[in-house]
Amino acid sequence: EPEVTQTPSHQVTQMGQEVILRCVPISNHLYFYWYRQILGQKVEFLVSFYNNEISEKSEIFDDQFSVERPDGSNFTLKIRSTKLEDSAMYFCASSEEGAEGNTIYFGEGSWLTVV
């Protein structure tokens, strides 16, 4: 079964450093998302991306965050200058267009620890 893959699975970074989290969505999907989950808390929406542009973003997704689809397969989340409170599990997700477009398939997550 096709799946969303994410790398790295775990990254430790120093506060102030830039981090790039990478995702390979399911190949025929056209909508891409990033969510995050702070330890012990709920899953929170960050951003959705369609047709090479951001379609929606939350208040969490401030100027420190950016997303990019640099080629036909990857979808990245960049945090420009990490803060301690950015420590969380980051989930990439994707969905098809059309009637199945609201079924979101999640990756295994990238655990980011900022020290």
25 touches other proteins (CB under 8 A): no
Least distance (Å) from other proteins to the CB of residue 70?
Answer: 22
Burial class, 41, CB count within 10 angstroms (exposed 0-12 / middle 13-18 / buried 19+): exposed
Distance CA 39, CA 28 (A): 31
By CB under 8 A, name the one of 26, 65, 109, 112 that touches other proteins.
109
102 touches other proteins (CB under 8 A): yes
Considering Cα of 14, then 12, then 71, then 95, what sign does the dihedral take?
A: negative
Which residue ranges make up the site for other proteins (CB under 8 A)? 31, 33, 41-45, 48, 50, 56, 58, 91, 95, 97-99, 101-109, 111
